[in-house]
Amino acid sequence: MSRAYDRLEARFKNASVLGDALSVLHWDMATMMPDGGAEARAEQLALLKTLAHQAVTADDMADLLAAAEGEALDDWERANLREMRRDWVHAAAVPADLVDAMAKAESVCEMIWRQARPNADFAAVLPSLREILNLTRQAGEAKAEALGVGIYDALLDQYEPDARSAEIDAVFADLETFLPDFIAQALDAQAARPDPISPQGPFAIEKQKELGHKIMACLGFDFHRGRQDVSAHPFCGGYPEDVRITTRYDADNFFSALMGVIHETGHALYDFGLPGGRWRTQPVGRARGMQIHESQSLLMEMQACRSRPFLTFAAPLMKETFGGHGPAWEAENLYRLGTRVKRGFIRVDADECTYPAHVIIRYRLEKTLIEGRMDLADLPAAWNDGYARLLGITPPDDRLGCLQDIHWYGGSWGYFPTYTLGAMSAAQLFAAAKLADPQIEPAIAQGNFAPLLSWLRTNVHGQGSSLSTTDLLRKATGKPLDAGVFKAHLTKRYLD
């Protein structure tokens, strides 16, 4: 290893392997681990996170990075070095004892949340969440100083590199102007048509799982490198050779779990398609931030699989799986169910018209809390006020309110805006893909996602983190993020 750059690759490979182990331990904690294992698991996660932190914060890292920047590197090595420096700046800003404390607190709080959520008991988790928020602020302040940005932007940068809340504020302000009238128009247009018929359950969980696996296979999920399980909150974890997705089932509504499976499969397809070989364990081989990751899940769930072409294909499969009969199982009826607009409480079950409102509410709240402009005890009331203002509804309890998402309780602050940025990116990428290959939509109508997946592999997945988010979108679609594409999609689907 004569080059400083080569020594850096070796260190970041070690950090990547530790990250893979952490991901699987997190998956196990959410799906299989008995409650009694929580304390030991917290110790395991804290140790692995500390070791990963140490791998990229050794005393000579600054010198190695500086030396590598003066070496002859190809384009991918140069991009990898850029991402290495980003990782180092984030990691070096936070002392090892704070990394350890955060990991332990996150594990404890998440386990308490799992009990508090079904009981709608925010008070039970408040002390642990308060500790999480305090530690997150400490880390955010340290990173803010290192990055030269505000505390919220420092946390946001962990999930969406180079994103800034001032830009997000402008995008979300535009959506807040657009959405209320648009949602009202969509509801009026919907009311002018006959109500769709809901297929009547109960729907056996094993049959729902069977249907989910069939659809996963159509989308391109590789069961030799992945699996699907059940958790309190759907997620995708693991690593490209071992991707784990989860869902949750409702015996009275198979459509909710199915769309959850499709959403997480979109995440998994991205992970499967990331650069392999040498880049597999390097920063440049990772996903390009959560905006693009969420675009891949929402592209599959919202853009492709709530479309008429897909539901024309899937309707007979659904009918056969559950032994259904009658007009409720016809493709057009299922399409109207899949695109039904409703002012609801649960983000993961929201339609794509109201979905941005759910995200905007969370973004405003987490930014206010991180910046210390609101006490955590006031979160339930502020949450309910946000829903009353943007969606015209008030959650009846905290299970349907501020306890519904795992993110804050698991230590993820600064993540939420990437969902709506991802939804906008999804519309833009899907439109560009269909324009580039006119066979994509006819193929989806036959249950064949290979043309779409091929385009995504080339233009998104295989790029890893070699490009910035803006440059990736510009290269794939011809322009940076454009809210107009998202609005046009919504208008065409719900008003035309």
What's the number of CA atoms in the CB half-sphere (13 Å) around residue 247? 27
Using DSSP's 3-state secondary structure scheme, residue 252 falls into coil
Candidates 476, 462, 470; CA nearest to 433 is: 476
Cα–Cα distance measured from residue 306 to residue 339, given in angstroms and rounded to the nearest whole number: 7
Query: Which amino acid, residue 380?
Result: P
C-alpha distance from residue 448 to each of 30, 73, 219, 267, 452 (Å): 32, 40, 7, 18, 9
Cα–Cα distance measured from residue 275 to residue 465, given in angstroms and rounded to the nearest whole number: 9
DSSP character at residue 461: G
Candidates 58, 91, 57, 74; CA nearest to 5 is: 74
Name the token pair of 340: 């039904």
Please work out, in degrees rounded to the nearest 5, the angle formed at the alpha carbon of residue 235 by the alpha carbons of 140 and 44.
60
| Helices assigned H by DSSP within 323-373 | 331-338, 355-370
Strand order from edge to edge, sheet including 242-247 = 226-230, 242-247, 236-239
Cα–Cα distance measured from residue 186 to residue 494, given in angstroms and rounded to the nearest whole number: 6
The reply to whether omega before 202 is within 30° of 0 (cis) is yes
Question: Residue 405 CB: number of other CB atoms within 10 A?
Answer: 19
Which helix or strand (DSSP H or E) is residue 190 part of?
helix 165-191
Q: Is 264 a catalytic residue?
A: yes
In three state form, how does the secondary structure of 276-319 look?
Answer: CHHHHHCHHHCCCHHHHHHHHHHHHHHHHCCCHHHHHHHHHHHH
* Terminal CA-CA length for the chain: 61
Is 401 within 8 Å of 346 (Cβ atoms)? no
Could you give phi then psi for residue 89, rounded to 5 degrees? -60, -45
The residues near 246 (Cβ < 8 Å, ≥ 6 apart) are: 27, 30, 31, 228, 229, 230, 231, 233, 234, 235, 236, 264
Could you give phi then psi for residue 353, rounded to 5 degrees? -80, -45
77, 106, 160, 264: the active-site residue:
264
Active site residues: 264
